[in-house]
Amino acid sequence: MIKNKVIPVILCGGSGTRLWPLSRETYPKQYLKINSSDNYTQLQKTQKRISVFPNIGDSILVCNEEHRFIAAEQMREIGIERNTILLEPFSRNTAPAITLASLIALEKEEDPILLILSSDHEIKNNEKFIEAIKAGISLAENNRLVTFGVIPTSPETGYGYIKSEKELNDDFNHSNILNFIEKPTKQKAKEFLEDKRFSWNSGIFLFKAKTILNQIKEFSPDILDCCKEAVSKIKIDLGFQRLDEDVFKKCPNTSVDVAVMEKTNLGTVVPLNVGWSDIGSWDAVWENSKKNKYGNSIEGDAIIKDSHNCFFKSQERLIAGVGLNNLMVIDTNDALLISDKDHAQKVKNIVGELKEKNFPQSKIHTKVFRPWGNYETLVKNDRWQVKLIMVKPGEKLSLQMHHHRSEHWVVVSGTAKVQVDENILFIGENESTYIPLGKKHRLANPGKIPLLLIEVQSGSYVGEDDIVRFEDKYGR
């Protein structure tokens, strides 16, 4: 019998740069369906796998302010609307995020157990995962700080490691933690694989809210002080809990491992052997994908001949390969990645260089999600661009105006309600309307099916920052 309420805390702040070009800053991997066979995004799978847990409470999501509507919509899609979404104006790593969630959880329950989860992990054996969490609950109830060490299956250099006092086995035994090791060399990783005291650091935790706060107060009091002030100044915005930017920027950028776990004597590790992966790189995606007898995994329109252990993923175009080995090819509608699979961890270095050179592909997708729907840039030039816009039933864009462009809208599916200044008109399929430069206008979907329309923009400047909003239901 679990005495304390268990509150999941789902950390959604990662940028997923090693999964570029599919994962980008404006729409990172936790909100994506990584494999074509996936029915749910990584965030949705994280929530669903713990929904069956006994005495489970409403989740607390900690996410980037920019992703607030994506996170809320994805939770709503799986029937989860009673949760707390805490908005960080910028990332400050896991220690501040966990501290904030602990303080908020104590406003809901007397001393709940927090189950800290990353939003982008893959777990193949969910029943065994639940059993492992149950094994950790009794330790957390006795004021231990529990983390889960994944039993290694290969000499992995992309993960951190935990060294425990005792050897870990598959029976959910537990051990005190000796120390944490950052990502090792290949030789060290091979040594760790042979020593059963070493496990991969999963980043999954269990502890009472008061216990972790007491440890943060002892070892990192500046984080606790900053987070207490930030919580006291939280503003509720359309149901989201928004942190004060000026307060939060003073908070140290520190992981919970560094802030607490490496210093405390309460650390306990429970083994996890459930088919875990953080899906942090394309080689991990290949490992978790369905392969043919030659070790090749293909998603989308692709043909591979005389090739072995390759991963091909195409969103739109046909791609073909001959005589290849250990190669990754990921093709999106505006970027192409080609890499040796052994160099998958270095993709983030490419993204860093793209950012330095101001390539927009480093940050944004051609398809951009908004609370009302999404839009996709089909083709563009310096003075014009063409978009496909989808507006969800019952939703509407802001009342807005542009200084530098006019717009022409052609409905291809559904019905559009269009406001231009004080005039209202309805246009259906194969009908169009023109929005002159400088006119206040608004687009809405009054129907029961998604509204699809083609927007042709033309003018001296067609950037997204040429928007003056007069009224917006989403508070932007």
**CATH code (residue 434):** 2.60.120.10
Pairing of strands 60-64, 6-11: parallel
Q: Between the CA of residue 458 and those of 96, 216, 379, what are the distances in Å?
A: 45, 55, 12
Inside any domain, residue 155: yes
Last residue of a domain, one of 276, 307, 322: 276
Backbone angles phi, psi at 456, to 5 degrees: -110, 115
pLDDT value for 157: 84
| CB 424, CB 417: distance < 8 Å | yes
On whether both 83 and 208 belong to a single domain, the answer is yes
pLDDT value for 2: 62
On whether both 377 and 300 belong to a single domain, the answer is no
Q: How far apart are CA 127 and CA 129, in angstroms?
A: 5
On whether both 347 and 410 belong to a single domain, the answer is no
- Please give the model's pTM, rounded to 2 decimal places: 0.88
Inside any domain, residue 361: no
Q: How far apart are CA 251 and CA 103, in angstroms?
A: 15
- What angle is formed at CA 27 by the lines to CA 337 and CA 92, rounded to 5 degrees? 110
Q: Look at the chain and report how many structural domains it folds into.
A: 3
Inside any domain, residue 360: no
* H-state helical runs in 347-452: 347-356
On whether both 49 and 151 belong to a single domain, the answer is yes
On whether both 23 and 166 belong to a single domain, the answer is yes
**Cα radius of gyration (the chain):** 24
On whether both 127 and 149 belong to a single domain, the answer is yes
Inside any domain, residue 98: yes
pLDDT value for 229: 94
In the 8-state DSSP scheme, what is residue 182?
-
In the chain, which stretches have pLDDT less than 70?
A: 1-2, 476
Strand partners, 145: 267
Inside any domain, residue 204: yes
Q: How far apart are CA 444 and CA 475, in angstroms?
A: 16
CATH number of the domain bearing residue 232: 3.90.550.10
pLDDT value for 407: 97
- Closest by CA to 256, choosing from 151, 145, 164, is 145
On whether both 47 and 126 belong to a single domain, the answer is yes
| CB 389, CB 456: distance < 8 Å | no
Inside any domain, residue 476: no
Q: How far apart are CA 314 and CA 332, in angstroms?
A: 6
Inside any domain, residue 175: yes
pLDDT value for 172: 78
On whether both 321 and 255 belong to a single domain, the answer is no
- Sign of the C-alpha dihedral, residues 136, 139, 141, 144? negative
Task: Label residues 281-317 b or e (16+ Cβ within 10 Å = b).
Answer: bbbbbbbebeeeeeebbbbeebebeebebbbbbbbee
On whether both 78 and 186 belong to a single domain, the answer is yes
What is the distance between the terminal CA atoms of the chain, rounded to a whole angstrom? 45
- What angle is formed at CA 234 by the lines to CA 228 and CA 239, rounded to 5 degrees? 140
Show the domain range for 451: 367-471
